[in-house]
Structure 1
Amino acid sequence: MTKDDSPIEEFLPGMRCGVLLPVPLGQVYDYKVADDMTVRAGDFVRVSFGPRKLVGVVWGPGAGEIEDQKLKAIVEKLPALPMTALMRRFIAWLANYTLSSLGAVLKMAMSVPDALESPKGVKVYRVAAEMPDLRLTPARERVLAVLKNGPPLSASDAALEAACTPAVVTGLAKAGALEEVSQIQEPQWQNPDPTLDGPSLSGDQHAAATDLVAKTKSGGFAAVLLDGVPGSGKTEVYFEAVAEALKHGQQVLVLLPEIALSSQWLGRFEKRFGAPPAQWHSELGVKERRETWRAVADGRAQVVVGARSALFLPFKDLALIVVDEEHDPAFKQEEGVIYNARDMAVVRAHLGEIPICLVSATPSLETAVNASSGKYGLLHLPQRHGGAVLPALDLIDMRREKLPATRWLSPSLIDALTETFQAGEQAMLFLNRRGYAPLTLCRTCGFRLKCPNCSAWLVEHRVRGRLQCHHCGHIDRMPQQCPECHAEHSFHACGPGVERVAEEAINAFPDARVALASSDTLTGPRAAQDLVARIERHDVDLIIGTQIVAKGYHFPMLTLVGVVDGDLGLAGGDLRAAERTYQLLYQVAGRAGRGQHPGRVLVQTFQPDHPVMQAMKSGVRDQFINAEIKAREELYMPPFGRLVALIVSGKVEAAVEAQAVSLARMAPGYDGIEVLGPAPAPLALLRGRYRRRLLMKLRPGIVPQPIIQEWLARLGVAKRREKGVRIQIDVDPQSFL
């Protein structure tokens, strides 16, 4: 029995079994096994559910609450490989932890319905058992020889082999000389080769790789933080563990926060292993998703690199999980089932008894505390690989620069850019704000252009000639006159986005080749790959981008990074504001000087004395992390206490307010628990729904899930549930919008 096996529950004809359906309901439904089938736990089956027929999973014995004679029979057992016991345990665990319905979590694991059906056969031809009398031309003889001595082929493939037209093949079939059959052809996957030599490793890299390889080889759960400065070669270290899993024919999952922008990573992987990995992200087409899902399920796809949803793929023999850039907030799903893919990856590894490697140059505080306490192993790479040194960093005090209202690049930064371009090197300007300007207002009356569906300003995107809400996607054109005072052409852009910075940079350096890099310009893997290739060829002198450019890129000729607004993430009172700002600035600074040329980083700030800025200037990362840890510990904030957010939303504001007040009045009053709110969310209107938030703060050792379940149950008993109002639970919130 393997580590994933458990006693198989088999259900014979006429027996009752429970079927879980991918609908947002918490219960398992009883069905009867049809007379012509036998099913086991994990089988995918089609059943009648009201007027619809749905595909679900046999989950176990039925509850027995419905009389036998009223049970509906299972309509069909699907040919897909059964869902493993491990995946079923993972789904149940995640649903319980996030307080989500089992069906909603199951839906994420059944994201490719077509993959569960029998694959469509391809029409191929073979020589008939009895050859009819017919005139044989040289072309016909060649076709018969090809098919007699080889496997069945399609008309086009047979014609290609026989050097004739497909009409010759179909003519032989009509004459009875060939049989037409349907053949299932699963695509062949080129598997990575673990025996290829990788690059030579430094002493620190070799020690870290040896540790990871040993854990992968021995199996068993182990969580390890691979902590290394930017450019220290963390990827090459965990590639050694990937190679170890491949040597034993096992599978590996690598999670990346921005899979659509991972072209350099994919190139490094293919160079190391001689073949690309399977990819899993939202840009894949229906056919690619179906083929990848099936290849993962039957073990043909050995390495998968993907976004957070790849965690729910049906791995046959998963031996290692890697979470690269583990600190990245993109691993948190904020809609539907709210979960953190990094944390759930640790759970997936624990349930499967396999190692997991969390990788970062700026670990999250939660991971740093787990590593320092010994809960996670720690592997540290303190030096850049190949003799490169970390860039020098200077702060530009913008209070002294006194720039005009329409300028955003200081003279110090302009001078540094000039020196960089004269030296034939590349530079990057970083501003984590998309579009041209974050706010557009009327000069005459002060009216601000606002999203009709959200509590957010419309962002001007001048390149595309439109205004856009970055929360719901609403798009408008710039009005010719103000809706409030009717003044014509009175709208004025306030503040900079990357497009406005690009405009200023082009005016200052008209001969520089400038490239914009944001989610508006890099809309998928192909666009990102094209940009990376242009930068590597040195067809670009200046990259201007958002946080997309902060992650993992290696450009040897990039020697200057200028941060246009270092203070941007510090406002708003978010618990993680300082931590995230530091992580983002540290990561983007790490893009400079990764080759033979030394790097330099300039950060424009109005708060040079802020702890984040001082930590950046000193380069002492651990001092900043330790100060943040101490502050959190004193306040019992995560990771030393727990937070749970309750978001009340609906289309009628009065009903939302009433529901939030009722929820607050019935809040649990146990020792060690504090409930804050209700209060309007910072985005009090989002996608047409009004929102109120409550925040539960728990002292260490208190488990929130049963307390919240009891709280919501009391609300239901008291009949205080407002119609049309939704209550979402966010355990361990990362965002407070």
Structure 2
Amino acid sequence: MSGGRRRGTASPALPLAPARARLRVLLPLPLAGAYDYGVPAGMVPPPPGSFVQVPLSGREMIGVVWDGEADPDLPERKLRDITHLLDVPPMTASLRKFVDWVAAYTVSPPGAVLRMAMSSPSALEPPMAKAGWRASAAGRAALARGTGLTGARQRVLETLEGELDGEAHLAATIAQRAGVSSGVLRGMADAGLLEPALIERAVEFPRPDLKRGGPELGEEQRVAGQALREAVAKKQFGVTLLSGVTGSGKTEVYLEAVAECLAQGRQALVLLPEIALSAQWLERFEARFGCQPALWHSELGSKRRRDTWRALAEGRVQALVGARSALFLPFPDLGLIVVDEEHETAFKQEEGVVYHARDMAVVRARLNEAACVLVSATPSLETLTNAETGRYAALDLPVRHGGATLPSVVAIDQRVTPPERGRFLSPPLVQAIRDAIGRGEQAMLFLNRRGYAPLTLCRTCGHRMRCPNCTAWLVEHRIQKRLQCHHCGHAEPIPPACPECGAEGSLTPLGPGVERVQEEAAELFPDARRLVMASDTLPGPAAAAEAARAIQAREVDLIIGTQIVAKGWHFPHLTLVGVVDADLGLAGGDLRAAERTVQLLHQVAGRAGRAEAPGQVLLQSWNPDHPVMQALISGDLAGFMAAEADQRRPGHWPPFGRLAALIVSAEDEREADTIARDLGIEAPGGDGVEVLGPAPAPLSMLRGRHRRRLLIKVRRDVPVQPILREWLSRVRVPASVKVQVDVDPVSFL
């Protein structure tokens, strides 16, 4: 039978639809990893780093096309398509590697780290456009003929086609450049000589002037600056520790490295621990380069954050100074990272993804083949150890710039000359302040404690005012007439009677806070012009800048401050620094308590005598023989740090070993105890591994959650992250319980 099909033979196979291209997309959510998505027909598969819009659980989200191959075994029917490719510069390969590295190191979901790199979602949207004007075809023809135009209209068209390159511009810009009124433009529009057009708004950031010379450097500064320039010019990774006494000109030296980086056409990032420090720093930068750098910190408005993020990604920002979060910004060609005051604990982020910006700055510099400079008058023991072992290069500036000398440091033994009853300033300190102000000089009182008093107690029943959400006492802020928790922010009015026994007028403040010192100073020095510098009184950079201006203009005689005054400031007429409670911070079993105290007090002391007049520092202490006090008095910080290292080395404590903490928290105390117990039962062991806990955290309740801690200590050669991942995988943690991982903890609260 012709034309028929033989029985039992297969029919010709229909052609299969080509499989969709698929790729991985990482979303800014605390998820385990990237999700697979399909590429719709007609779309060229976007390369890794592209910002894309994708569907997820009934909503649209923006993510980043991530590196690696999608799962080929995922059924096509389960694959959803990308919906939109965003017109944004793609995330660089180095930043994607950085996100993955930080996630692996901190044992965090990659998406949670990505969220920090997408900190300005509005920057991913198309730039906002404004209505403007440009020459119409009729206008250009009239200009070409050179007839029939008034002088004003002629100037407008010549300006648009010449000076303004034929592009659309705002009416105000055109009128100002052409020297005409807005009425001329309206008339030209009515005559058809101008036509409306949208202007894509791109905020311009000033370009530093590299031809400006910096201040005259001393010989040691010049040598150090040249060494940093050479390190940057290599365009390869390397870390340099720039140390030096306070006032030795470290900022001017590392600005030489910034200048070299900009000359190479690359971008520079400077990290500061406190954004309030930026006030005087920005003045120095502007004096050196003729403009201010871009800024990045939490006080920026959303509009400025969007403009800065976008301009940086497009390569229109050359230099940026910021807080620790600036590490995750989209630099297309990062050539230098400077970490100023590298020892500062403010560089450690304690919430969300827990990381130390100093350490992550070194990693980002390595991934970008960039130079990294760590700067401090009191380097951390970790950084000193890396310099001593040759991992970091080291430069030191041992003398103050411009002939200024280091201040003398003297301890006031409060056992011998205590303050008068009810006061907190000892007679020798009071007299020294009177003498300094009498000479027309400025003095500073330092107390690292905000508010009026750290504790409020009932004289009748002994009740202590405590935060309802935290294991912490409420701090009295007398100016605001409230009690406040400095951990969770809870605040309440000062009650007229004890809430426990009802006794009226029985609540008494105990101990000094900076407000109480200010009150005492007002009684002792009524004619002195006083200024309180604390985070309560200087809420942002603008307030800090105004305070610095007033001090430099000698409108202030006595500065009273917390740790915000300890570093970065240069006040030429400040000659006396008095530390009200030098022993504060030494109590408790904190591993780094002595190191942190000597760093803080040395920085405070460094504010004195930075110009011609010699400086003096007085430390009120109940234990002047303590090694910290003796190190400050002798100036032998190197010897102190060597002794610290000798104490930590035998027990493999950092930096000679590794620490990581697990912090278990839950609203239900029993749940917190149960999960902490289960983690303790499953605790890892083995050679070089030791687990301490579980135990209640010193702040056993924080923001309404009960907290338990476990601490793992390992030898330096034992990688701790795989141990942590295996440990956490053995315990099922309910959604109501949070287990936070803190690798390399700096706080043990």
TM-score, with structure 2 as normaliser = 0.94
Q: CA distance change for structure 1 residues 291 and 637 in 2, over 3 Å: closer, same or farther?
A: same
Pick the aligned partner of 2:690 from 667, 674, 693: 674
Q: Distance in 1 between matches of 2:103 and 2:358?
A: 16
Residues 581 and 128 of structure 1, relative CA distance in 2, 3 Å threshold: same
Alignment of 1:167-246 (within 5 A): 169-170=185-186, 172-173=188-189, 176-246=192-262
C-alpha distance in structure 1 between counterparts of 2:82 and 2:190, whole Å: 41
Aligned-pair distance for 1:444? 0.9
Asked if residue 545 in structure 1 is aligned to residue 545 in structure 2, the reply is no
What is the alpha-carbon distance in structure 1 between the residues aligned to residue 696 and residue 417 of structure 2?
38
Q: Does residue 621 of the first structure (1) align with residue 628 of the second (2)?
A: no
Question: What is the CA–CA distance in structure 2 between the aligned matches of 1:206 and 1:515, rounded to whole Å?
Answer: 37
Quote the residue 1:64 is aligned against. 72
Aligned to 2:10: none
Give the aligned partner of residue 91 of structure 1: 99
Equivalent residue for 2:671, pick from 641, 648, 655: 655
1:105 to 110, 113, 131: 113
Relative to structure 1, the CA distance from residue 723 to residue 141 in structure 2 (aligned partners, 3 Å threshold; closer, same or farther) is closer
Give the one of 71, 75, 87 matched to 1:79. 87
C-alpha distance 136-217 of structure 1, shift in aligned 2 (>3 A): closer
Structure-to-structure mapping, 1:222-621, within 5 angstroms = 222-621=238-637
For 2:345 and 2:739, the matched residues in 1 are separated by: 23
Residue 744 of structure 2 corresponds to residue 736 of structure 1: no
Asked whether the equivalents of residues 155 and 170 of structure 1 are also in contact (C-alpha less than 8 Å), the reply is: no
- The residue that corresponds to 1:53 in the other structure is 60
Q: Which moved more, 1:573-582 or 1:36-45?
A: 36-45
After TM superposition, give the deviation of residue 160 of structure 1 in Å: 3.8
- Which secondary structure state, in structure 2, belongs to the residue aligned with residue 26 of structure 1? coil
- TM-aligned CA deviation for residue 177 of structure 1: 3.5
Structure 2 Cα separation of the partners of residues 278 and 732 of structure 1: 31
> Are 1:116 and 2:128 counterparts?
no
- The one of 706, 709, 715 equivalent to 1:690 is 706
Task: Tell me if the contact between 2:420 and 2:426 (Cα under 8 Å) persists in the aligned partners.
Answer: no
The letter for the 1-side match of 2:169 is: L
Hey, what does 1:20 align to over in structure 2? 26
Give the conservation status (yes or no) of the 8 Å contact 1:30–1:64. no
Structure 1 residues 146 and 436: alpha-carbon distance in aligned structure 2, compared to 1, 3 A threshold: same
* Distance in structure 1 (CA, Å) of the matches to 2:139 and 2:251: 60
- Match among 32, 35, 58 for residue 29 of structure 1: 35
Residues 14 and 130 from structure 1, CA distance in 2 versus in 1: closer, same or farther, beyond 3 angstroms? farther
Following superposition, the deviation at residue 706 of structure 1 comes to: 0.5
Asked if 2 retains the 8 angstrom alpha-carbon contact of 1:13 and 1:35, the reply is: no
Pick closer, same or farther for the CA change 1:354–1:153 going to 2, 3 Å. Answer: closer
- Give the match for residue 11 of structure 2: none
Residue 722 of structure 1, CA deviation: 3.5
* Alignment match, 2:6: none
SS in 2 for 1:556: coil
Q: Secondary structure at the match of 1:262?
A: helix
Deviation at 1:401, TM superposition (A): 2.1
Aligned partners of 1:13 and 1:34 also within 8 Å: no
Give the residue type in structure 2 aligned to 1:640: F
CA RMSD of aligned residues (A): 1.8
TM-score for both structures, normalised by structure 1: 0.95
Distance 2:682 2:739 in 1: 14
The one-character-per-residue Cα deviations of 1:535-591 (angstroms, maximum 9, x if unpaired) are 001000000001110112111110000000000010111000000000001110011
Give the whole-Å Cα distance in 1 for the aligned partners of 2:704 and 2:617.
Answer: 42
- Structure 2, unmatched stretches of 5+, are 1-17, 143-147
Per-residue deviation, 1:273: 1.1
Distance 1:223 1:428 in 2: 35
Aligned pair count reads 722
Q: Give 1:169 deviation, angstroms.
A: 3.2
1:463-509, Cα deviation, whole Å (9 max, x unpaired): 12211111111111001111111111211010000000011011000
In structure 2, how many angstroms separate the alpha carbons of the residues matched to 1:145 and 1:362? 61
Instruction: Calculate percent identity across the aligned residue pairs.
Output: 57
Instruction: Render the CA deviation track for 1:131-164: whole Å, top value 9, x for unaligned.
Output: 6999988766665554455532223333444555
Q: Which amino acid aligns with 1:734?
A: V
SS at the partner of 2:137? coil
CA offset digits 1:370-428 (Å, max 9, x no partner): 11111111101111111111111100011122434420000000111111011110000
State the AA in 2 paired with 1:695: L
Q: How far did residue 183 of structure 1 move?
A: 2.0
Secondary structure in 2 aligned to 1:656?
helix
- Partner of 1:96, secondary structure, is helix
Name the aligned partner's letter for residue 47 of structure 1: V
- 8 Å CA contact retained: 1:13, 1:36: no
**Local SS of the residue matching 1:179:** strand
Q: CA deviation at 1:66?
A: 2.5
Q: Which stretch of the first structure deviates more once superposed, 58-67 or 635-644? A: 58-67
The Cα shift of 1:321 comes to 0.8
The aligned counterpart of 1:8 is none
Q: Say if 1:237 and 1:136 are closer, same or farther in 2 by CA, change over 3 A.
A: closer
Equivalents in 1 of 2:260, 2:394: separation in Å? 20
> Residue by residue, what CA displacement relative to the aligned partner does 1:64-114 show, whole Å, maximum 9, x if unpaired?
352123211101000110000000001000000000000000000000111
Would the alpha carbon gap of residues 303 and 147 (structure 1) be closer, same or farther in structure 2, given more than 3 Å must change? closer
Q: Distance in 1 between matches of 2:434 and 2:529?
A: 13
How far off is 1:700 after superposition? 2.3
Q: Measure, in 1, the Cα distance between the counterparts of 2:181 and 2:224.
A: 59
Distance in 2, Cα, partners of 1:447 & 1:379: 54
Residues 272 and 64 of structure 1: CA distance in aligned 2, closer, same or farther (over 3 Å)? same
Q: Considering only CA atoms, is the larger Rg found in Structure 1 or Structure 2?
A: 2
Structure 1 residue 43 corresponds to structure 2 residue 55: no
Deviations 1:44-75 (A, max 9, x none): 00111112111000003312352123211101
CA distance in 1, matches of 2:157, 2:610: 61
Q: Quickly say closer, same or farther: Cα 1:31–1:174, change in 2 above 3 A.
A: farther
> What is the deviation of 1:204?
1.4
The 1:709/1:593 distance shift into structure 2, 3 A limit, reads same
